[in-house]
């Protein structure tokens, strides 16, 4: 008979069964010490597998080690302790985690079992200042509506809300097969990690309650692959940024997300406003976004950049959640200085707000309940945005306390904008506020090819396409569907060099119109079907 703690071997790898180190598999028992002994013994032996057989294990922070495969078997659940003192919340509370690793290499978290954070929430009137919710909160109060929202149980007095996984400065990480549910905070967070693979996982937090419980957060990481997974979260499914609160800010780069199903009451994928350095080389492909509030968000506020992004082959089915969450649009871009988000005084006059450039979104079908918007900054225009083969069905939510959608897609402060094969359809239930399919203001270098769409309401003044202060635009091969009033309307003294070529405008009451301030000859129409 083997002595307690003696590793078994399978296929040449040592196996350290946590029950051999004193774990009982009974949820009420504290398994932390036994599991940590197994991890440390595995690392001391040069590596191998730490094995959690079927059963229930409750633990506080477990410190992972290099060359260790942490395997949770089917039928086994690792529960996060509900005692915040059981976690490594000092000196950095935001690093607290059930599974923690720093400066490691060759680590696996695997199996077919479950990691359960046991998060709990309570509802009360919103009593915190959140710049993202400021306008929504003001609107709710002005309409006499409730501002109830969920908060993690114990907030604000409790300071430690652990992640299920936090890893920093580590490389060659594999997380496969497991279910991660009910995390009290960001489910997984990675800082300055490299060569991270996540495959075949299931992640779930309550969509209607789990505020701040993002799915995967990547800060300054590189060479990341997330695939074949289902992520359902009460905040962003995947958040990508280059922050500075866990160490020096690093560019986050070479990120691939493929073959996933994403659901969120915030954003499916978000390049966050907390971007000090930059995010580049991001590919999202073959994903289904369903039961989701907002699809993609690209935000910059701290001087960083987002560049070289390709999003393709996406279907979206969006809806609204509570007043405190997103607005149901398929994508949103925004560049703002931090003080412009918060309303605080400018601390450094004229500092650069950041940049977004060279982004392509193609092959998308979106059923949305909110607008798509692209908002650059007067000091930093979005440069090189390509939208291709995108079909948007826009409806309204009559039960929503407010609806900001006015135009299906809005652009401002954008240059080198290419739109190809964009189709806009006004769906039901409809909103009386709707106007144009496309609205553009302060745009330079527009090529629009193969557009199909009209204004929201037949017989109203809004055009299908509204251009204000738009320069060097070429609109070609586009079609005005039945019910189109004015296809194109141009306004603004800065508008110039607008060309229409080869468009089928037979079903439009008017091909184009220009406001009085627009000089004659700005719009040139050639070879169109009137």
Domains in the chain: boundaries: 8-458
SS3 396: coil
* DSSP, res 20: G
Count CA atoms closer than 13 A to 58's CA, side-chain side: 11
Query: Which among 226, 202, 210 is positioned nearest to 266, based on CA atoms?
Result: 210
Cβ neighbours of residue 341 closer than 8 Å, sequence gap 6 or more: 131, 273, 301
Residue 350: pLDDT band (50, 70, 90) is low
Least confident of 52-66, 345-359, 415-429: 345-359
Average pLDDT over residues 469-483: 97
Least confident of 101-105, 171-175, 207-211, 218-222: 207-211
Q: What's the chain's average pLDDT? A: 93
Task: Give the angle subtended at the CA of 226 by the CAs of 220 and 228, to the nearest 5°.
Answer: 170
Q: Which helix (H) or strand (E) holds 134?
A: helix 134-142
At 195 the pLDDT is 98
**What are the pLDDT digits (tens) for 260-286?**
999 999 999 999 988 999 999 999 999
Query: Which among 67, 71, 13, 62 is positioned nearest to 34, based on CA atoms?
Result: 62
Cβ neighbours of residue 144 closer than 8 Å, sequence gap 6 or more: none
Better-scored residue on pLDDT, 51 or 12: 51
- What's the fold here for domain 8-458? Pectate Lyase C-like (2.160.20)
Under 8 Å between Cβ of 224 and 251: no
Integer Cα distance of 306 and 337 in angstroms: 15
**What are the pLDDT digits (tens) for 164-174?**
999 999 999 99
Residue 479 forms beta bridges with which residues? 452, 504
Residue 1: pLDDT band (50, 70, 90) is very low
SS3 478: coil
State residue 213 phi and psi, 5-degree precision: -100, 65
294-300 and 261-264: which strand pairing?
unpaired
State residue 65 phi and psi, 5-degree precision: -130, 160
Average pLDDT over residues 115-133: 89
Residue 348: pLDDT band (50, 70, 90) is low
Integer Cα distance of 107 and 175 in angstroms: 9
Integer Cα distance of 415 and 207 in angstroms: 37
SS3 41: helix
CB 208: neighbour CB atoms within 10 A? 13
Q: What is the dihedral sign for C-alpha 454, 455, 461, 463?
A: negative
| 384 pLDDT more than 90 | yes
Q: Which of 79-83, 299-303, 322-326 has the highest mean pLDDT?
A: 79-83
Under 8 Å between Cβ of 197 and 225: yes
Integer Cα distance of 416 and 443 in angstroms: 8
Average pLDDT over residues 97-111: 98
* DSSP assignment string, 241-307: EE-SSSSS---EEEEEEES-EEEESSEEEEEEEEESSEEEEEEEEEEEEEEESEEEEEEE-SS-EEE
Query: Which among 457, 467, 401 is positioned nearest to 433, based on CA atoms?
Result: 457
Q: Which helix (H) or strand (E) holds 311?
A: strand 305-318
Q: Largest alpha-carbon pair distance within the chain?
A: 96
Q: Which helix (H) or strand (E) holds 35?
A: helix 32-44
At 346 the pLDDT is 65
> Percentage of residues in the chain with pLDDT exceeding 90?
79
């Amino acid at each position: 008979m083997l002595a307690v703690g003696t590793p078994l071997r399978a296929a040449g790898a040592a196996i350290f069964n946590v029950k051999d180190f004193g774990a009982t598999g009974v949820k009420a028992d504290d398994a932390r010490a036994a599991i940590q002994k197994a991890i440390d013994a595995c690392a001391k032996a040069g590596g191998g597998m730490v094995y959690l057989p079927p059963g229930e294990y409750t633990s506080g922070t477990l410190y992972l080690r290099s060359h260790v495969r942490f395997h949770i078997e089917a039928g086994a659940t690792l529960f996060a302790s509900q005692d915040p003192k059981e976690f490594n919340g000092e000196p950095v509370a935001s690093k607290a985690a059930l599974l923690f690793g720093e400066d490691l290499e060759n680590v696996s978290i695997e199996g077919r079992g479950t990691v359960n954070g046991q998060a709990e929430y309570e509802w009360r009137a919103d009593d915190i200042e959140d710049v993202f919710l400021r306008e929504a909160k003001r609107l709710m109060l002005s309409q006499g509506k409730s501002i109830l929202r969920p908060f993690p149980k114990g907030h604000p007095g409790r300071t430690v809300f652990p992640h299920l996984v936090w890893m920093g400065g580590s490389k060659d990480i594999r997380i496969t097969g497991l279910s991660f549910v009910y995390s009290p905070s960001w489910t997984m967070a990675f800082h300055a990690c490299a060569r991270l693979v996540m495959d075949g996982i299931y992640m779930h937090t309550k969509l209607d309650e789990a505020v701040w419980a993002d799915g995967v957060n990547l800060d300054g990481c590189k060479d990341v692959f997330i695939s074949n997974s289902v992520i359902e979260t009460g905040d962003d499914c995947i958040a990508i940024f280059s922050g500075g609160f866990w160490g020096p800010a690093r560019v986050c780069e070479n990120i691939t997300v493929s073959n996933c199903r994403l659901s969120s009451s915030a954003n499916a994928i978000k390049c966050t406003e907390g971007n000090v350095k930059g995010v580049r080389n991001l590919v999202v492909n073959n994903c289904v976004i369903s039961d989701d509030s907002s699809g993609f968000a690209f935000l910059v506020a701290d001087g960083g950049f987002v560049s070289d992004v390709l999003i393709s082959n996406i279907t979206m089915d969006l809806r609204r959640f509570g007043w405190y969450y997103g607005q149901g649009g398929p994508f949103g871009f925004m560049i703002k200085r931090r003080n412009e988000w918060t309303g605080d005084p400018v601390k450094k006059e004229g500092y650069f707000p950041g940049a977004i450039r060279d982004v392509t979104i193609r092959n998308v079908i979106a059923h949305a309940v909110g607008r798509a918007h692209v908002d650059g900054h007067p000091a930093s225009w979005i440069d090189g945005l390509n939208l291709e083969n995108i079909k948007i069905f826009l409806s309204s939510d009559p039960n929503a306390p407010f609806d900001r959608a006015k135009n299906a897609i809005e652009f401002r402060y954008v240059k080198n904008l290419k739109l190809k094969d964009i189709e806009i359809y006004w769906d039901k239930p409809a909103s009386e506020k709707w106007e144009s399919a496309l609205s553009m203001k302060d745009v330079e270098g527009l090529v629009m090819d193969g557009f199909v769409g009209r204004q929201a309401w037949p017989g109203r003044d809004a055009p299908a396409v509204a251009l204000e202060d738009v320069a060097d635009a070429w609109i070609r091969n586009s079609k005005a569907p039945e019910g189109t009033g004015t296809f194109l309307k141009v306004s603004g003294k800065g508008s110039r060099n607008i060309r229409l070529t080869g468009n089928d405008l037979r079903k439009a009451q008017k091909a184009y119109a220009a406001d009085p301030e627009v000089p004659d000859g700005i719009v040139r129409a050639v070879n169109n079907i009137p």
